[in-house]
Amino acid sequence: MKCFLISLCILLCFQQGVKSKNVSDSDLQLASIPPRGWNSYDSFSWTISEQEFLQSAEIVSQRLHDHGYEYVVVDYLWYRRKVEGAYHDSLGFDVIDEWGRMIPDPGRWPSSQDGKGFSEVANGVHSMGLKFGIHVMRGISTQAVNANTPILDTATGGAYQESGRVWRAKDIAIRERACAWMPHGFMSVDIKLGAGKAFLRSLYEQYAAWGVDFVKHDCVFGDDLDLNEISYVSEVLRELDRAIVYSLSPGTSVTPAMAKDVSGLVNLYRITGDDWDTWGDVKAHFDVSRDFATANMIGAKSLMGNSWPDLDMLPFGWLTDPGSNEGPHRYSNLHLEEKKTQMTLWAMAKSPLMYGGDVRKIDPTTYDLITNPIILEINSFSTNNMEFPYISSLNSEDQDSGRQMRRSYREIKTSYTHSLSLTSCTESNANGWTSESLNQNLERICWKRNFGYKHLAPLCLHKRELNFISDEENVYQDYHQGKYHLVAVDRIKFCLDASPKRKLTSKEFERGTFSPCRWDSNQMWQLNLNGTLVNSYSGLCATVKPVKATINSAGFRSWVATGRTGEIYVAFFNLSDQKAVISAQTSDIAKVFLGRDLSACKGSEVWSGSDIEITQGTLSAEVEMHGTALFVLNCHLVWSPQKSSM
Ligand SMILES: *[C@@H]1O[C@H](CO)[C@@H](O)[C@H](O)[C@H]1NC(C)=O
Ligand SMILES: *[C@@H]1O[C@H](CO)[C@@H](O)[C@H](O)[C@H]1NC(C)=O
Ligand SMILES: *[C@@H]1O[C@H](CO)[C@@H](O)[C@H](O)[C@H]1NC(C)=O
């Protein structure tokens, strides 16, 4: 129950914090359980029209709303004209207003004409009993910066003036900080400036005026962290009359430490890169969701209500491809077992559930999967959710020889290698970098902390001053003083890159990516005196930890949680390519639910519907490849005396 006490403390501490702020009561209700809905990205990429969106919303309202699917969200680039030459990183096709704000493309969103923006779409969605969400990018668009539009001061309704002059887009834009995966689209604004703040405020006040209930703010988290912008947007949202759920994206290389900086400011934040319909993507969510559960981040109190680590949309049914100009045209590549695994993990980790497929063509199997009542009950109302490490597996060779091998996957011996990732520069695990001179011309930067892993050679990179090329704007030279490239020792033309130039999927993300050396703030690093190595694009620091070189040891997983009426949920997952039966001792399960007696439990397996028996204190099951078994156990409620108050 230690975790219970800690979360109780977090709850109390945050509630005390709340009193000193002017948060309205309705704000405190935001996202009290993981939000659920439909998002257009997986099935339409950026190309959705008003008609397609409203048709989809109608179906969500008729068929999914009763199951808690409440938000319908338009994903990115609703302001981009769908014409020849336009694509996800094109420049010059966006519709902006006189203040440099994005407005819906009237070609795709006819009701937006005459300055109505999304208000008619929002009205339509509200009349269906649903809530309306939009996707927005970081900062300001390149198009507004090129047009150098004036900034709106919403207090006066006129142009923002300070120090006797009108402020414009070019005054607030930070070209250095263009979004890494949409470099022609958007860049950060300087919120230290009054005009930078005024611009962001003018955006979010407009969204509220349109009737928006949910904002997915992209290119501000993970490798793209822009904490200044997140903090200010959160402040603006808190002061609005309208309660808007605040969601952050993407989640590439997010750590619990990074999430702690934002969980009090937002309601949802992604903790992986984009999730698509491959087994690799599903599998990539197990470690990270375990780490967030362990760090007590699931449902943490936020100044805006509660916050939820977000595992991304469910790419089932009819889909499109990442970055495509085409709508739904292919069926999901996941097998049924893999989809069940995804639903089960998303439920046990209490991720927001956003269906991504085309709801107009949803098939009965997919529909049953995403509306499974036990899955949805677990997702909304379970508590004490955590990975459960004490499972054993019996592989076929062991079975043949009659030998039972009980093993926790954490005990399996493997070799170790380095894993590079980014973290907040204030974290103690960020310092460990030192500079060494090899000779007069060559210096290298090495990570010197290999505690406990003696046989691992230190990770070193060659330091190289940035070579300024003459046609770059001079203004950048000062900005990049004291920064350098870090060159891979074995590949001299490749530099350490904090994030490749495209939207990553979790499967593709390799920690410590090296790309051809470029003039790019993602590849610029600075060594601080305290041994932290900071990246110019994100302001995050590089850290290194030893990781297992092989992953087959992680082939079996289990999660546990408790239900509203005392039931116990146990999920087994078979991620491996080896044959095995997964089992757990009820005495081990009882340990994580201190005081529970699991000697007399009855129950069933959710996906097969079959009743289960627990024999000799062992819960065990055969699980299909990439599949899952999910048990609901009803045990006699016997609490030990000293815990009875809980
Ligand atoms: C909330 O507090 C801030 C500063 O403390 C103030 O500027 C703002 O007007 C307040 N908003 C409301 C709605 O009371
Ligand atoms: C190291 O120094 C930098 C810059 O002075 C600072 O921002 C950071 O918080 C420090 N980090 C640690 C772990 O001491
Ligand atoms: C786990 O998956 C493998 C294939 O990857 C399969 O052969 C095996 O039967 C599965 N395990 C169990 C216990 O069914």
pLDDT for the residue numbered 7 = 39
Please check whether residues 544 and 557 belong to one and the same domain.
no
| Highest mean predicted confidence (pLDDT) among 291-295, 509-513, 587-591 | 291-295
Q: Whose CA is nearest to atom 9 of ligand 3?
A: 579
Average pLDDT, the chain: 84
pLDDT for the residue numbered 6 = 39
> Of 550, 584, 603, at which residue does a domain stop?
550
Please check whether residues 433 and 534 belong to one and the same domain.
yes
- Closest listed ligand to the CA of 235: 1
Tens of pLDDT along 457-494?
677 888 887 765 444 444 444 456 788 888 876 667 77
Please check whether residues 300 and 162 belong to one and the same domain.
yes
Q: Is 83's pLDDT higher than 90?
A: yes
The domain spanning residue 590 has which CATH number? 2.60.40.1180
Mean pLDDT of 574-593: 79
Please check whether residues 535 and 511 belong to one and the same domain.
yes
Please check whether residues 402 and 425 belong to one and the same domain.
no
| Highest mean predicted confidence (pLDDT) among 449-463, 479-493, 583-597 | 583-597
Q: Which residues line ligand 2 (CB under 6 A)?
A: 425-426, 428, 430-431, 528, 530, 532
Tens of pLDDT along 373-408?
999 999 999 999 999 988 876 654 444 433 344 444
> Of 511, 528, 550, at which residue does a domain stop?
550
Domain limits for position 469:
414-550
Question: In this structure, what token pair is assigned to residue 335?
Answer: 């097998």
CA of 634 to the centre of ligand 3 (A): 27
Q: Before 373, cis peptide (omega within 30)?
A: no
- Report yes or no on whether pTM surpasses 0.75: yes
Rounded (10°) angle between helices 50-59 and 119-127: 20
pLDDT for the residue numbered 319 = 97
Helix (H) or strand (E) holding 298: none
Q: Is 239 in the pocket of ligand 1 (CB under 6 A)?
A: yes
Q: Whose CA is nearest to atom 9 of ligand 1?
A: 239
Contacts with 548 (C-beta within 8 Å, 6 or more apart), sequence order:
414, 415, 416, 417, 554
State the total domains in the chain.
3
- Closest listed ligand to the CA of 338: 3
pLDDT band at 15 (very low <50, low <70, confident <90, very high): very low
CA of 614 to the centre of ligand 3 (A): 21
Contacts with 13 (C-beta within 8 Å, 6 or more apart), sequence order:
none
Please check whether residues 540 and 592 belong to one and the same domain.
no
563 falls within a domain: yes
- Closest listed ligand to the CA of 26: 1
pLDDT for the residue numbered 476 = 45
Q: Is 185's pLDDT higher than 60?
A: yes
Q: What is the dihedral of CA 298, 301, 304, 309, to 10 degrees?
A: -10
- Between 639 and 558, where is the model more confident? 558
d(CA 429, CA 449): 9
Q: Whose CA is nearest to atom 4 of ligand 1?
A: 22
Helix (H) or strand (E) holding 587: helix 586-592
387 falls within a domain: no
Please check whether residues 285 and 156 belong to one and the same domain.
yes
Please check whether residues 113 and 29 belong to one and the same domain.
yes
Helix (H) or strand (E) holding 46: none
386 falls within a domain: no
Tens of pLDDT along 34-77?
999 999 999 999 999 999 999 999 999 999 999 999 999 999 99
The domain spanning residue 465 has which CATH number? 2.80.10
